[in-house]
Structure 1
Amino acid sequence: MEKRQFTASLLAGGCAGMCVDLTLFPLDTIKTRLQSQQGFYKAGGFRGIYAGVPSAALGSFPNAAAFFVTYETVKSLLGSSVSPYMAPVTHMVAASLGEIVACLIRVPTEVIKQRTQACPSSNTYRILLGTLREEGFRGLYRGYNSTVLREIPFSLVQFPLWEYLKSLWSWKQGHVLYPWQSAVCGAFAGGFAALVTTPMDVAKTRIMLAKAGTSTASGNIPHVLCEVWKAKGFSGLFAGSLPRMASISIGGFIFLGAYEKFRRTILSNNWITS
């Protein structure tokens, strides 16, 4: 990947990430509280829906930037060596590796953010200090495996579908899509991916919010899903699916649309040299 493309992916990804995370934060808070073990109202209900926003604001730029730099780099490396028919596989591999790298940044911010969302009487700083005091640095990465196992299936669905919808629409109209059209494709792809991966999101939320030392906190995903199934059945596995779909559909529109717009704008400027 050329320096110009690397810089464009870095800046566009980071800006797009901040746009979507801060815009849709209230929906994310509602989803977290719906999935928490203590229940929606005990976790705060509709009170303090911006609890945990400092953590999201701090992590959104580097998280999204890391994803898109990895995604575009891998796509560039593999794109020249495979046939067009293997394009979906290229997008799947690129997205999966992008998620693994991004989760190194995303998980600590997600842990602090979700614990603050589920305990609005506290604040981000106190939750961070409490986590470090009780669990050490490793506590910030509780739920890393479950987050990766949620994000990879999500990306395996979202990004190949997004790229396919873009190429289909572009082929039908005979020219490259406008950023708003890429955003529409992103909304459809994100909403569908959000629905099918909700059970993994429920498991991830339960693991991150669980009290240290409990069986749930150990991060055994099948065990957590079985507990949810026994306690609440099918509806429990898909708790928060509607706000999650709404958030990610709107988020996909903003995130992928903004990414395309920012990236094209940055690449068209002469101050980025190759």
Structure 2
Amino acid sequence: MSGGAGGTSRSTRDLICNAGAGAAAGSIAATFVCPLDVIKTRLQVHGLPSGQSGGSIIITSLQSIMRSEGFRGMYRGLSPTIVALLPNWAVYFTVYEHLKGLLHSDGDDGHQLSFGANMLAAAGAGASTAIATNPLWVVKTRLQTQGMRPGVVPYTGMVSAFTRIVREEGIRGLYSGIIPSLVGISHVAIQFPAYERLKSYIAKRENTTVDKLSPGHLAIASSLSKVTASVMTYPHEVVRSRLQEQGQARNIAPQYSGVMDCIKKVFRKEGVPGFYRGCATNLLRTTPSAVITFTSYEMIHRFLLRVIPSGEDKYSETHPNSNSNSHVKAQKANIDDANEVRDSDIQQSQSQPSKQTSFPLGNKERLTSRH
């Protein structure tokens, strides 16, 4: 019974640690890279700014946003981003760790999951978070791009965006772009297994364990895995952003009828480079974001594991004498056994004097040794 209670406590503790660390890490990263996220989203949806002839696209875009929308414009969509990331990373890390645990129990050696098993866990977690948080990402995209559509009545905030999307487009509007979002599971299915492998490789090189890697080593593993996954899967983000954004123009027919129509039109109009529009900005945003997210998650998770007591700790606190009592009982049992053997030896020596004469020191030595 106590073992079951301890297992339940550990399960609850793991859930709290995974969810808390994931939500906190995602919020920190989102706040840090929000200006780059705004630029990336606008490049995905609207392409290069008009009149862009040279210089840094990022600097030019930042100057344009500051000039037309002020400092607040660089943090468009931050509220829904954080609101989305709180459940996003909380659900993701929790489901990911849970699935890894299930896959470990299905015959794994308990040390290292295979690359395929890691991909399966990452894909399952990615599907859960995509379905749960897609409406929040739609709102974020609309808020970040509405400043570039002067002919559209702007949303006044996150709640306004939600209510108007539901009223004007129905529930379907909140799930626009869900198909490319699900396709985007391939991103985390590459990133997380790569991250796990890199951590294991670095730990072996440093002759340590994965849970003792320094923040610098975690930063290296997270950045390399993120760059690899981003470059391989970026086109789906362009398609997703365009499908999510097109519904905000009122009295204008949607430009794309679906995923395949969007892919055909982007390729016909812009070629392959069109699918990588904003990729450089995205890497500048997602790489530090991944470093902050993963490193923060690992550090916060370790901290929470130290702060939040496990089921065994709580039991020892509520029953402080349990271990000492058992120890005293064990000592008492040993003493009783010794006394029984001693009495038996004395009785035997008294009833058999000839044997005592033959071995005069045997019983005395045994009695002395037992004391």
Fold agreement, TM-score > 0.5: yes
Q: How does 1:23-62 map to 2 (within 5 A)?
A: 23-37=32-46, 40=49, 45-46=64-65, 47=69, 48-62=73-87
Distance apart, 1:272 and its partner CA: 5.2
Among candidates 123, 127, 136, match of residue 161 of structure 2: 127
Q: Determine helix, strand or coil for the equivalent of 2:114.
A: helix
2:305 match? 267
Once the 2 structures are TM-superposed, how far is the Cα of residue 181 of structure 1 from its aligned partner? 1.5
Gaps of 5+ in 2: 1-9, 52-60, 148-153, 313-371
| TM superposition shift of 1:104 | 2.6
Aligned partner letter, 1:214: P
Contact kept in structure 1, 2:26 and 2:82, CA below 8 Å: no
Counterpart for residue 22 of structure 2 = 13
| 1:185 to partner: Cα distance | 0.7
Cross-structure match for 2:336: none
After TM superposition, which residue ranges in structure 1, 4 or more long, deviate above 3 angstroms? 37-45, 82-86, 270-274
The residue correspondences of 1:90-105 to structure 2 (distance < 5 A) are 90-105=117-132
Larger relative contact order, structure 1 or 2 (CA cutoff 8 Å, min sep 6): 1
Return 107-116 or 96-105, whichever deviates more: 96-105
- How many residue pairs match? The answer is 271
1:124-162 Cα deviation digits (max 9, x unpaired): 343323212111223111111211112x11012101110
Structure 1 unaligned runs (5+)?
none
**Pair 1:109-2:143 in alignment:** no
Cα RMSD for the two superposed structures: 2.3
Deviation at 1:38, TM superposition (A): 6.9
Answer with 100-109 or 185-194: which moved more.
100-109
If the length of structure 2 is used for normalisation, what is the TM-score? Answer: 0.68
Cα separation, partners in 2 of 1:260 and 1:239, compared to 1, 3 Å: same
Residue 165 of structure 1: which of 167, 178, 198 is its match? 198
Q: Which has the larger radius of gyration?
A: 2
Mapped to 2, the partners of 1:272 and 1:39 lie a distance apart of 53
- Equivalent of residue 274 in structure 2, options 236, 239, 242: 236
Q: Which amino acid is the alignment partner of residue 116 of structure 2?
A: V
What letter corresponds to residue 62 of structure 1 in structure 2?
P
One-letter code of the match for 2:271?
Answer: G
Relative to structure 1, is the Cα distance of residues 131 and 39 closer, same or farther in structure 2, using a 3 angstrom cutoff? Answer: farther
Task: Give the corresponding residue for 2:327.
Answer: none
TM-score (norm 1): 0.91
Amino acid at match of 1:20: A
**Structure 1 letter corresponding to 2:143:** T
CA distance in 2, matches of 1:221, 1:139: 14
Q: 1:82, 1:224 → 2: CA distance?
A: 44
Residues 64 and 86 of structure 1, relative CA distance in 2, 3 Å threshold: closer
Equivalence for 1:153: 186
Q: Match for residue 340 of structure 2? A: none
| Percent of pairs with identical residues | 26
Larger mean Cα displacement after TM superposition, 167-176 or 112-121: 112-121
Q: 1:80: how far off? A: 2.7
Please say if 1:208 is aligned against 2:267: no
